[in-house]
Chain A
Amino acid sequence: GGIITQTPKFLIGQEGQKLTLKCQQNFNHDTMYWYRQDSGKGLRLIYYSITENDLQKGDLSEGYDASREKKSSFSLTVTSAQKNEMAVFLCASSIYNERLFFGHGTKLSVL
């Protein structure tokens, strides 16, 4: 079986800081996703990528950049962290239109 590794597991940032989250998968999946999970709001799609160097905006792309450097990795950048922001960022991968596999998440806190 494969695995999705997200780093770091915990991220503490300062207001206005640029923060980068990384995701690696060894499933050899084409499609990768970044979701944000807030308490009481469910998961919201930030960016996804259907192949290397492809980027597609999700419902919540404002304030974020993403980069699919190679098939196995997909990084997400918070361009300017918001004060008191607290959320879990989840990376996932799949074969097109098939089951998604998720990483354990990166928990972000902004002071």
Chain B
Amino acid sequence: GQQVQQSPASLVLQEGENAELQCNFSSTATQLQWFYQSPGGSLVSLLSNPSGTKHTGRLTSTTVTKERRSSLHISSSQTTDSGTYLCAIVNSAGNKLTFGIGTRVLVRP
């Protein structure tokens, strides 16, 4: 089945630093989404980015479909960015997401 690998597993940043999170997937994906989960909270969709580069606020996602990878860049990190970032892929049938385990990010003041 579809595999989604995320790296690093965890990341500690000093406020103001930038970070890059990676997502690699095992087979063709028609859709890719990045989610944020706050500690103890629900998931929020950050970006839907099947290919190319997309920006929202301080977040930039770049997906290279042929190479089956996507990255999420966080610029000028803030303590409120702390949480888990999940990458998810839609399969070729287009009807369900497969999630990675996520990258836990801690931003220290």
Closest A residue to B33 by beta carbon equals A99
Chain A 27-49 interface mask (CB, 8 Å, partner B; 1/0): 00001010100001111110010
Task: Give the complex CA separation of A103 and B45 in angstroms.
Answer: 12
Instruction: Select from chain B the residue with minimum beta-carbon distance to A101.
Output: B45
The reply on B57 being an interface residue by CB < 8 A is no
- Residue total for B at the interface (Cβ-Cβ under 8 A): 23
Contact B45 A100, beta carbon cutoff 8 Å:
yes
Residues of chain A within 8 A of B97, CB atoms compared: 33, 45, 100
B96, A42: Cβ atoms under 8 Å? no
Count of chain A residues with a beta carbon within 8 Å of a chain B beta carbon = 26
Say whether chain B's binding surface is mostly helix, strand, loop, or mixed: strand
One of B1, B41, B94, B96 near A104 (C-beta < 8 A): B41
Q: Which of B1-51 contact A (CB under 8 A)?
A: 1, 30-31, 33, 35, 41-45, 48
Contacts of A59 in B (CB 8 A): 1
CA distance A52 to B93 in the complex (A): 19
When distances are taken between beta carbons in the complex, the residues of chain B under 8 Å from A105 are: 42
Complexed CA–CA distance, A92 and B30 (Å): 19
Q: Which residue of B lies closest to A91 (CB)?
A: B42
16 A-B pairs within 8 Å (CB atoms) are namely A33-B97, A40-B101, A41-B101, A42-B86, A42-B99, A44-B99, A45-B97, A45-B98, A48-B95, A56-B96, A96-B95, A97-B90, A100-B43, A100-B88, A104-B42, A105-B42
Residues of B within 8 A of A (CB): 1, 30-31, 33, 35, 41-45, 48, 86, 88, 90, 94-102
Binding site for B on A (CB under 8 A): 31, 33, 35, 40-45, 48, 50, 56, 58-59, 90, 92, 96-105
